[in-house]
Amino acid sequence: MRVIIFLFFFNLLIVSIVFGKDTIKIAITIDDLPSHANVPQGLNRVEIARKMLSVLKKYNVPEVYGFMCAKRILNEPDLIDVLKLWRSSGYPLGNHTYSHKSLTRSSAEEFKKDIIDNEPILKQLADDTNFKFFRYPYLHEGNTQEKRNAVRKFLVKNGYNIAHVTVDFEDWSWNDPYARCVAKNDKESIMWLRKTFLRNATDKLERAEKISKYLFKRPISHILLLHIGAFDAEMLESLLLAYKIKGAKFVSLTGAINDNIYSYDPQWVFDHGAEFIYQIMKSRGLKSSDIGLKPYLDYPQEKLDKICR
């Protein structure tokens, strides 16, 4: 396993030395607090949060918003300790709806209520931080123009900023397979999970850079979506190192959204979720091939679904 990870970073380093690297500003955000996916035997949710926070602090990552769903505390009241730990570490919390509701599968009124229902605990824990950053669950922003516009008007009226995403490599989908492979003590499969996680993470960052430079003719401040899962916690240091080799400079979410691209509304309606820059691509009628991108074929969804079953 160590040999594979070493070779991964060695190859990244050689590429960065040979071809050079630009600074890539990127804000780190974490979804689904206080709990996400299954937990491997011997771990608990607080330990996962503590491990992530330790790495974020080690690499001086500023203002990491944890986007929370308060309903998860209803059946497991002790999970509030995760939120308290996040705040005691100096990081803010943001609104991810009360029950992780999809705007595609609900009405605008139901969705707006779910945002408001999440606020009491946010207010309780916020102290002097701004909790009015909003992240759409599943990145579903509305499958009709009416729903999309209604929710956006509601967010503006209630003082929310949308925490857009430009880099999303489906990190969530490695967490349950990891729990299964730990239960089986399948070290070979865990090595494969590590390798593919990093490969997809760096590939998606490269693609986001190419797309944004094509669309805006300049580098932008990116926003990365991660989740508070056991494998995310296990891989976070390797991920941050890989991104730093690529030229990443970690910035605050507040600073990132000051990039004026985030004031633009692509007005793109779709059943599923998509990163902000992909929405802009679609709104301009562009395809990946127009930008010179190869099809994104590396995401191993089928194997992730089957591994360690």
Taking 3-state DSSP, the helix, strand and coil percentages for the chain, each rounded to the nearest 5, stand at 55, 10, 35
Angle at 204 between CA 202 and CA 205, to 5 degrees: 65
Average pLDDT over residues 1-18: 48
- Cα distances from 24 to residues 151, 198, 209, in angstroms, run 31, 17, 8
Contacts of 46 (CB under 8 A, 6+ apart): 81, 82, 85
* pLDDT tens digits for range 104-143: 999 999 999 999 999 999 999 999 899 999 999 999 999 9
What does residue 243 show for φ and ψ, rounded to 5 degrees?
A: -70, -35
Query: Domains, the chain, ranges and CATH?
Result: 19-306 (3.20.20.370)
- Beta-bridged to residue 30, according to DSSP, are 66, 226
CB-count exposure of residue 292 (10 Å: 0-12, 13-18, 19+): exposed
Given the DSSP bridges, would you call strands 161-162 and 222-227 parallel, antiparallel or unpaired?
A: unpaired
Residue 16 has pLDDT above 50, yes or no: no
* pLDDT tens digits for range 79-94: 999 999 999 999 999 9
* C-alpha Rg value of the chain to the nearest Å: 19
- Cα distances from 54 to residues 44, 58, 85, 91, 281, in angstroms, run 16, 6, 11, 12, 36
The two structure tokens encoding residue 86: 């996040």
pLDDT band at 21 (very low <50, low <70, confident <90, very high): low
What pLDDT is stored for residue 293 in this prediction? 85
pLDDT band at 19 (very low <50, low <70, confident <90, very high): very low
CB-count exposure of residue 293 (10 Å: 0-12, 13-18, 19+): middle
* pTM of the entire predicted model: 0.92
Q: Which helix (H) or strand (E) holds 162?
A: strand 161-162
CB 141 within 8 Å of CB 148: yes
Q: Which has more pLDDT, 18 or 217?
A: 217
The two structure tokens encoding residue 72: 């998860």
How many other β-carbons are positioned within 10 Å of the β-carbon of residue 137?
Answer: 20
Residue 17 has pLDDT above 60, yes or no: no
- Among residues 72, 87, 16, 76, the alpha carbon closest in space to that of 244 is found at 16
d(CA 247, CA 207): 14
At position 154, the amino acid (one-letter code) is: F
- CA atoms 243, 248, 249, 255: torsion sign: negative
* pLDDT tens digits for range 188-212: 999 999 999 999 999 999 999 999 9
- Among residues 236, 129, 231, the alpha carbon closest in space to that of 179 is found at 231
| DSSP character string of 24-72 | EEEEEEEEEET--S---TT--HHHHHHHHHHHHHHTT----EEEE-TTH
Residue 12 has pLDDT above 70, yes or no: no
CB 209 within 8 Å of CB 219: yes
